[in-house]
Each structure stands twice: as C-alpha cells, then as structure tokens.
Structure 1
Amino acid sequence: MKDAGRIPGAPRRLQLVLDADFLARIEAALAQALPDWGLDRGLRLDLLSVSENANFLARDTGLGDLVVRVHRPGYHDRDEIISELAWLDALARDQVVPAPRPVPFRDGRLIADLPDGDQMRHVVMFRYLPGQEPEPGDDLAGWFETLGAMTARLHAHARAWQRPVGFRRKVWNFNTMVGDTPLWGDWREALGLDREGHLLLARTVARLKDRLADIGTGPARFGLVHADLRLANLLVDGRDLSLIDFDDCGFCWYLYDFAAAISFIEHEPYVPELERAWVAGYRTVAELAKDEAALIPVFVMLRRVLLTAWVASHAETPTAQALGPGYTAGTLALCDTFLRG
C-alpha cells in the first residue's frame, strides 16, 4: 500500500514523506537507467508520490507519458514483482479492465536494479493512465457499481488464467493480516489504544479468526485479487474508470476487494449504499449469492483492523499523522458494532 492517496478530510495536496537526500540519490540513479528504456538521460522526472515506493512521471515525445516506480527494499522480491507484471500484462492482453501496462527495456527486461547506498532498489515502468481519484461527492455509488463489475471481471480472469511457472505473490490470510505474522504491523500497537480498547480489539480479532476459519480458503472464495482497490487507486477520466497500483495484489478472499475499496471511509453513513451498488455491479458479470454477500462485513472489519495496524507501523507518514488516534477510536466503534451483529 502506498501513502500517496489523499484520505478524506486531508488537505488537497500530495501527501509525501520527503527526504531530499533520498530523492536526489534516486533521481541521479534513474538518470543513468533511463537509456535502458530508450529514454534520454536528461529526461525530466516529476515526483508523483513517495513513501514506501517512489513514483515519478516521465514525459517522452516518443513513448508518451510514463510512470517510473522505485520499490522500497525488503517488501517484494524480484519474483513477486515479475509476477505482478505478468498479471498486468495478461489483463491488458485479454482486455479485462483498464490498468497500467508494464513498459519493458529495449532488451525485453522488465525490472531495473538501482544502487542506493549498500542496497539495491527494484525499478519498473508503466504506461501512464489519465484521471483523478473519485471524491465522496462524485456519485460514488455510480462508480462503485462500475467497480463491482470490474472487480468481478478481475476475479473471473484470476480464476481462469493459467499463471506462469514461478508466479508468486503474498498470501493475505488471517495470520499475515492480523495474526502471528502480520505484514503491515501489529494491531496491539494501535495509536492511542488503552487497556479497554485492547480487550475489545482482541475479542474482535478472535471473532474474525473463527469467522474466517468457517469461511475457509477454498478456490470458490479465495484466490488472486487486487487487494487495495481504495479510492486513491481508482482513476476517473470522464466516464471511464481505471484501476492502478497492483503492488499489493496477492492471494486473499475475493470479497476482500470490496472491503479494500472502502478503506478509511468504513464508518461513513453512505457505505451501505456503496456496498449495494458494488454488489449490483458485481452481479452483472458473475454470480454472487445472497449468503455470500452477507459475509462482506467480516472482510470490512478485517480490513479495518489491518489498516489500524498499518497506521501504527507507519506513524511517520502523513496519512497516519492525519488519521492519528482518532482512527483507532473509530475502529473500536466498528468493533463494538461487529461484535453485536
């Protein structure tokens, strides 16, 4: 998950974690790598976002507008990134949904390695997609119906696609999200969490563990998903919607994609309308039985606890600072409702 998207209520400006030395190093290293893509070494690079990954816009008269993504070390390895790019390429080839298309080197490679001190950073390039993040006032229900249909097409493709040998992405399950091996931090470290709140969260996590065990991870419910379809990763361009930032795609419950879509707005009163619209859109493409749709609140609660842990483990980021302990308080209110349900 990148920290570039504006959260509701945050100032309308790019939210960045800026380190001038880091940016200078990366830009200098990128200048040396640009010729591998057939680009001029002096091509201007404009920073789009930076937190865990740094994203730059490059405008080339020949190749057009491009996005260069510089990965943070230690999160995804080369095989995982190649796997993400393989799915994106397949989605483009099969015309499933509008999504970023990887741009290879002149020799066909897809990943560059940039030296950064004593470590290496992986770098990939994508075709730029136009558009703006939808706002809560922008007929979100209408866009969520479109998103539901697009998500169903993603899931259908994921089920049918013959993944290449060596395909490997992270598995998002109870343990890796809120259990013993969390990828995004420990919910017990939630900002402002007191003893009473800890007990409430612990009961919620225990309930989630039981519910998810009952739901299971069979192929009808669990497979390759985007896993981060929040508003910041949707681009509205006129009447068109594109999906970006597949950096967290992996194996998870299919219905989790709706939960991710309402990240940071789970508490808003219009969320039930968004859910109805998303389900209606999904059903225009694929079957979604009533008893299956009834499981959505489990995944919304799971995502909210996961994000609460993420905020705590990324306390230096503008998103976490804007949300602060208030996000934990909101999580506890949702926990109380969930446990009463």
Structure 2
Amino acid sequence: MTGIYDDDFVYRLQQGVSQLAPRWGAGTDVSVRLLTLSENATFLLEQPGKDPLVIRVHRPDYHSRAEIESELSWIQALRASHVVTTPALIPLDDGSLIASFDDQGQTRYVVAFAFMPGKEPDADANLIPGFELLGATSARLHQQASTWPLPTGFSRKTWNFDSAFGSQPLWGDWRAAPGLSAPDQSLLQRLCDQLQQRLAHYGASADRFGLVHADLRLANLLVNNDQLAVIDFDDCGFSWFMYDFAAAISFYETSPLVPDLQQAWLRGYRSVRPLADEHIQMIPDFILFRRLLLTAWVASHPETATAAAAGHETYTAGTVELARQWLRQQQEDTQ
C-alpha cells in the first residue's frame, strides 16, 4: 500500500514545524507530535506554561496559497459575526497567517490554530440531538455565505459533478477503488451517469448552490458539554447546500440511524432557514455523490488512518450496495 505520508515524509514535516515554532512565539523547549493524517498532516505543538497550538501542514499540490488565504478569510468572517464556533487563527510574528518551509525543493504551507477542547461525537443514538444542532449550524453557515461579499481574489475549489468525477477528479478516480470487479464498475458507472443527469436537472442556482464547509463529518466536529464547534475548513468551497448533510454522514452512510439523523438535521436547519421540499428530495442523490467521491478518496489516500478505518475493499463493497439500492429506487420511482 502506497501513499505520500510515509514515515520519512512525516518526520520532515515534523522538523519543519519545529523550526517554525519561534515564529508563533514558542520557545526552543517544544514538543511537536502528529495528531492526524488525512488530506493534510496535523500536529500538536506543546510547550511548558503555554496553550498548545494545532499546526496544519498542507498536502502538496492540493491547495494554492490563494485558496488557503481564501479559506482563512472565510473563517475570520464567520468568527467575527459569531456564526459558528471554530478555533482562532494564530498569526506569525509578522502578523501573517500562513507560514512555509522548504521540503526538498517544494514549499509546504503551514497554518496554526488555537487548541480547542472537546471530542469527536460518537456515532450512536446519542448523536441524533447533536444533528439537530448541526443542522442549525449548517443553515447559519449557508445563510452567511449567501450574503457575504466575497473578498477580491477569493478562490476555492468547486465540488460539482465535473470536479468529482470528470476528466481531472479532485480526489482521484473511483474506478481505482480496491476490490472493484468489472460488473460492479459497470453498476457504479450507471450510478455516475444518472447522478450527472439528475444534478444537471437540479441545477446550481443561488438558492441551492454556494459556499459550503463541504466536510462536516464527525471527525471535524468537537463537542464540549452542550457546545458544538466546527473545525477544519480545508475542503470548503462551492457546492450544493444539501451536500453538507451528505458530508456529515461520511463513512456512516449505511447506518440505520441515517433517517433519524436526516430528520434531526432538517429540523435544526428549518429552525434557522426555510428549506423547500425540492431540496430535501435531492438528499439521497447527494449521499450517493459523496459516497462515490469518498470511494475515490479512500483509493487515492490508502496510507491514512481514515482509509484504513473505512476498510478499503469493504468500503468499496458498501458503495456498490448503496448504489444498487439507489438505482433500484430510481427505477421504481419512474414506473
């Protein structure tokens, strides 16, 4: 199994963060340890007598500096308007927010965040009330994004059919999924073709498509008592608003809790912002869109703990079964 985050690469990133530590006001007596490997590498920088910092080292050749700056500008706007609880950005000694270091001739971009207490929600029945809160949070994010004037030069990726499944897919080709047989590939191609048609018909007008977090899964939520914080805006970009629910159930799409989670999310959403039934009816499509996209991600990020936890070939098989059920439902609906 291959991937960019081998031990040597992670060690080099860790050394780069250590060298940058003084620029965030840290002394020489610091500890830098790996927290997570996903799209990026995230480290915890600790030193005696000071609050820890969460340091994100960006994956090479994914986001440009302008895209990172745009993400940070949205975070600042959200914090300033108290739309969502999310960690503060920690500036460098010159006031800038993006650091960098050279890694074997390539520039690695680095951002620091304040450490925020809390834990990832558990994927059990206790999650249902939390999804009502998440739905309200999602609605506030969408409401803010619908009225916020984008800063000059604002640049973020677009999560639509072409960027997910076109000739240059952002997260790789789902056809490379481990354990995908020829018959199952044909079935997923049918899913892909029908999703393309249905999403084109649904459209991307301003009442349904805009700036979204795009990765509100459990790993990017922190619960502290009755407070919900959202972290990791690294995938924020332009997509359908209902895609945020599909992202929220990432890797739990087959759970029997999903219908209850959806109803709770919708209750929370509608407590903040109106939502027409035509958008709700598209949620199953976005769940399959996200699942197929994640199937490509698991295939292209095999070294990550997230891909391992998903089960590689097991995840592929689950995608095929979900696609089979979705296609069957589409056929029944047209009869």
* Contact 2:38–2:305 (8 Å) recurs in 1: no
Q: In structure 1, the residue corresponding to 2:312 is in which secondary structure?
A: helix
Alpha-carbon spacing, 1:67–1:298, altered in 2? closer, same or farther (3 Å): same
Q: Using the alignment, how far apart are the partners of 1:51 and 1:216 within structure 2?
A: 31
Give yes or no for the alignment of 1:53 onto 2:40: yes
Compute the displacement of 1:65 (Å): 2.5
1:181 match: secondary structure? coil
Cα drift, residue 217 of structure 1: 1.0
Aligned residue for 1:332? 320
Tell me the distance in 2 between the aligned counterparts of 1:271 and 1:183. 27
C-alpha spacing 1:48/1:318, structure 2 compared with 1 (3 Å) = closer
Say which SS state the counterpart of residue 252 (structure 1) adopts.
strand
User: What SS does structure 1 have at the residue aligned with 2:273?
Assistant: coil
Give the conservation status (yes or no) of the 8 Å contact 1:17–1:318: no
Pairing partner for 1:125 from 94, 104, 112:
112
CA distance in 1 between partners of 2:317 and 2:105 (Å):
40
Structure 1 counterpart of 2:233 = 246
Mapped pair 1:206 → 2:190: no
8 Å contact kept, 2:184–2:320 = yes
CA–CA distance in structure 1, aligned partners of residues 45 and 302 of structure 2:
30
Structure 1 residue 184 corresponds to structure 2 residue 171? yes
Is contact 1:37–1:105 with CA below 8 Å preserved after alignment? yes
1:17-36 mapped onto 2 (5 Å cutoff) = 19-36=6-23
| CA distance, structure 1, for counterparts of residue 31 and residue 222 of structure 2 | 24
Deviates more, 1:286-295 or 1:164-173: 286-295
Alignment of 1:37-76 (within 5 A): 37-60=24-47, 64-76=51-63
Distance 2:31 2:301 in 1: 30
- Count residues with an aligned counterpart: 326
Is residue 148–residue 281 contact of structure 1 (8 Å, CA) maintained in 2? yes
Superposed CA RMSD: 1.7
Which amino acid in structure 2 is aligned with residue 326 of structure 1?
Answer: T
CA contact (8 A) 1:189 1:309 kept: yes
Whether the 8 Å CA contact 1:169–1:251 is kept in 2: the answer is yes
Q: What's the CA shift string for 1:252-290, capped at 9, x where partnerless?
A: 000000000000111111100000000000000000122
Residue matched to 2:87: 100
Structure 2: distance between partners of 1:170 and 1:182: 12
Query: Who is 1:12 aligned against?
Result: none
Corresponding letter in the other structure for 1:255? M
Contact 1:31-1:42 within 8 A present in 2 as well: no
Inter-partner Cα distance in structure 1 for 2:312 and 2:9: 26
Deviation at 1:175, TM superposition (A): 0.7
Query: Are the equivalent residues in 2 in contact too, given 1:17–1:51 (CA < 8 A)?
Result: no
Query: CA 1:313–1:28 in structure 2 vs 1: closer, same or farther (change >3 Å)?
Result: closer
Distance in 2 (alpha carbons) for counterparts of 1:309 and 1:278: 26
CA distance in 1, matches of 2:167, 2:253: 25
Residue 28 of structure 1, CA deviation: 2.5
Instruction: Name the CA distance, whole Å, in 2 between partners of 1:52 and 1:307.
Output: 12
Q: Does 1:109 align with 2:84?
A: no
Cα offset, 1:159, TM superposition: 0.8
